[in-house]
Structure 1
Amino acid sequence: MWIVYRVAARQGVKCGGILSATNGNLSSPNFPGYYPYDTECTWLIVVTEGSSILLTFHHFDLEFHTYCEYDYVKIYNGVPEDEGNLLGKFCGQVFPPRFTSSWHVMTIIFRSDKHVVSRGFSASYSKDVCGGVLTGLSGVLSSPEYPDNYPNNAECRWFIRVSNNSVINLIFYDFHLENNEDCSFDYVALFDGSSMNDRHWGHYCGGTKPADIISTTSELLVVFKSDFNIGAKGFKAFYFSGECQQVFTAIKGNFSSPRYPNIYPNNINCHWTVQQPLGYRVKVHLTDFELEDRDSLSDACDYDFLAIFEGGSETDTLLGKWCGQNPPPSLLSNGNRLLFVLSADRNTASRGFHVSYTGVIPMNISCTRTDFQIQIAVQAVPSLSQSNIYLGRQGCSAQVLGSAYKIISRFDACGTKTQRRRNITIFVNILYINFSDGTQEDTQEYEIQCDLKTKTASYHIITDTELYQLQQQAVSLVDSNSEESKVVDGSEGSKMQDTSDIVFIGICVLAGILMLIAIIGLVLL
C-alpha cells in the first residue's frame, strides 16, 4: 500500500497526490504565482512495472540556501521513507538535471518554510521504456524487451552522468545484434560525452561484446538503433561510477562504501578490487561495518550485503557474504587479488563500511638452532634498497645476494627475544620493510618466529589496526600492573600491621605468665 503524505499549513492549499498516467505534469501550488508559506507537498509517480520514469523540470525558482535547509525539492528513486533512495535535494534557481528512475516508482517532495517565497517550479514526467538519463552510482541498461528479441525501428539513447570528479566504467555482459560489415543496420554506438558530437568510441554489432569502456569525463552517451527487419536478443550492460568501481594496486590503502559514513544509496552494485603483484597476498580488516540486517525468515543476507571473492571475478571462490553489524573477520587471501562487492536493494540502507588492506610481501623464512634466515626476492620490492629492509634495528639490514635480499641473524643479536606461547618457547623479532618516500612514513612490520623444538619458522604481518590494538593492550597492561602494584603494596602493609599486632599480643601474654610465676613463688616462700 502506497502512503502519500500531504501537509498544507494554510487552509485551501491543495497539492501532491498519486500520478499513474504514462505521462503528466506537476508544479508547486499557485504556479506561476508565488507558492504559499509553510507548505509541504508529496507526489508519488507510479507507472507500469518494468518501466522507468523520466522527470524533466521546465521552471525552477525557490528560496536559496547553501544546504537547501529552507525551501526545497527532494527527488527519490522510489519511496521517501529511506534516505538511501534520495537522488537529490534542490533549491535556488539552478534547474535540477533530468532524472530517470531505476524502477517504476518516483517521489517528489516540495517544502516551503515560514519565510521568503518564490515562484516555484513546474515539471513533467513520462514513462521511459527505452533510454533515459542515468545518474545513480551504478545501473543497468538493456535493449527493449531484453532478453527477448528487440523490436524493429527502435532508437534509444541513454545519457549516463555521475559526479564531476568521477569517470564511468561501462561493461557489456551480453551482446547479440544483427551483424553486417560496417554495423549500419542494427548497432550500439558509444560517445565519450553527452552528445554525438563528442569523441566516438565506435559502432558495435554482431555477437562480439564491445571491450570495457572507461570514459574520460563524468558523462557517457549510449545509442541503440535497429532497422526495419531482422532482430536479435539484444544486449545488457552495467555501468559504474568511479566511486562505485575501483581497482587498488598500492601496497596498502583503504576504501569505504559510497557516501560513508553517511547512508549509502539504495539499489547499487559496487565493485572494488585489491590487486597486488604476483606472489603477494592481501590482508584485510574492516574497521567499521553496518549494513541492512539479515532476512528474519531465512537468516541469510538476502537484502544488502558485502561479498568477498578470492580473485577478480564473481565467478571466483566466494569467501563469504556479510550483513547487519557482524563484520567479516580479518582475512588473508591465498592469491594476490580480492574482489569486494556491495549489493544493496531498493530500501533500508545503513552507514556502510570502511576497509583497510595491506599487501603481504612474499618471503622465505627459516631458522636453525642458532639463527634466523630471511630471504626476499629483489623483484618483489623493486623500489627498495637493502637499507630499507632490516631485522630488529636498522643496523641489521639485508644484504644483496644474487637476485635476493638476505638476512642471517643469530638469536643473540638484532634484538631477538625468547617468549613462551602456549607452553612453547619461541624466538621472536620484528622485520621492518620501509616504503617511506620522504614525504610520507610507510613501514611494514612482520613478526618473525622460530619454534626451538621443531626448528620451524613463520611470519605474519602486523597491520596498522593490529599495531594500534597492541599499543592499547600495552597501555591497559601497564595500568593493570599499576593497580595490582597498589593492591600488593596495600596487602603487604596490612600483613606488616597484622604481624606487629601478633608480636605485641605475644609479649603481653608472656609478661603476664612471668608475673603469675613470680606471685606463686612469693606465696610459697
Structure 2
Amino acid sequence: MRLLLFLGLLWGAAATPSGPQWPEPMFGRLASPGFPGKYGNNEEQRWTLTAPPGYRLRLYFTHFHLEPSYLCEYDFVKLSSGTKVLATLCGWESTDTEQAPGNTTFYSRGSSLDVTFRSDYSNEKPFTGFEAFYSAEDIDECQAPPGEAPTCDHHCHNYLGGFYCSCRAGYVLHQNKRTCSAQCSGQVFTARSGVLSSPEYPKPYPKLSSCTYSVRLEEGFSVILDFAESFDVEMHPESHCPYDSLKIQTDKEEYGPFCGKTLPRRIETKSNTVTITFVTDQSGDHTGWKIHYTSTAQPCPDPTAPPNGHISPVQAKYILKDRFFVFCETGYELLQGNLPLKSFAAVCQKDGSWDQPMPECSIVDCGPPDDLPSGQVEYITGPEVTTYKAVTQYRCNEFYVMRKDDGKYVCEADGFWTSSKGEKSLPVCEPGNGYIYTRDS
C-alpha cells in the first residue's frame, strides 16, 4: 500500500509545475505483437509517446530479436523525434550494415517520440521481436549540446519542466528571456580626457544592446577622439553596417556609422559636446572598440615669470582652465600694484587670455628700525638701507651697557628686524656698573 501511495505521488509530481496533470502516461512498456512469442508477417504498429513541455522521453530495450537484413530493409524498429530519425534497428547484434540497440538508451530531441515496428512478408525462422520501456524525464536545458550556443547569455537555472535565465549586475534580461542586454545608456563624461569602450571590451560585446556615451565639456573646449588598440564590429559585405554600428554625433556633424575591422581615423570634432551611440543585434561574436578622448582649446600666451620669481607648473601649452601659480624667491613678496598678495594664480579663459595680469616679486622692506632709548642705531649695509638682509647695529650711549645682546639686527623675509638670537624686540641699554645716574650728571 505504501509503495502504491508513493507511485501515485510520483505520478502527480510529474505534472507541469503550474498546470494540471499531464494526460499521457509518464512511463510505460512497448512490445512487438505476440511478444514473447514470435511476431507475424506484414506487421506494422506505431506508438506516439508524448511528455509535458520541458521533458524528454527516455527509451531502452530489455529484449531485441528481429530478422537481420542489409541496412534493416526487412524487419525493423524505427525511432523518430520530430523530423529526426534517431535510429533504425534490426537483428540482434550490430554489424557493419545493421544496428541493434544492445544496451543503448535512446532520448527524444523534444517532448515526443515515435516508435514504429514493421515486419515484411516472410521470415526464414521465428523471431521473438522486442520489449522496451520508456519514461519521461526532465530536460536540463542549461546543458547546451556541443557546438551549440549556450541556452542563456549569463546564468541558466533549470527546474522540473523548464528553465529560466538571469543576468549579471549591469545587465537586464531581454524580452526574449535568454539574452542579457547591457545597461549602458546615459553615461556622461565631464573630465577633459578619458576612455570609452564597448561593454566587456576586449571580450565580445553583448547582444541586443543600445549604448549611449556623452562627453560634455565646458564651452571653449574641443573634443578629440582617437580609436585605440583594435576595432571589431559586425559588418555585412554588401550593405553598410546593417547589424551592429557605432555612430558619433556633435552639434555640427555626424560621423559614421562605423563597423568592420578597420580602425577609424582620429576625429577632431571642433565641439565641446559629443554623443556616441552603439547598437548591437542578436547575433555575432565581436570584441568591439575602445576610444581615448582628449580635449583642446585656444591657447593662452606663455606666461613669463617676474624677476625674482618663478612659475609652476611649467607647460608647453596652456589652454582653457589651465592655471599657473607665481612664487617669489625668499626675501621677496607678491605685489599686485601696491597691494600685497598672499598667493597668486591665473586661469586661462576661453578667449585665450589670462584672467589677471602678472604680479611683481618685490623685495621685503622692514622699514626704518625703531629708536633705542639710551642708544643709537647705525646702518651697516648702507645708508638708510632697510630691505631684506640689510644689517643694523644698535649701540648704547656712554655710561650704558647692553648686557643680553650684541645689538646686531637683520631684516628677515617676514619683514621684521630680528636679532642674532632670533628676537624681534629691541635690546635694552642699562646703566653701567659703578655709575649712579642723577639729574645733574
Q: TM-score range by the shorter chain?
A: 0.3 to 0.5
Structure with the bigger percentage of strand: 1
Higher Cα Rg: structure 1 or 2? Answer: 2
Greater fraction helix: 1
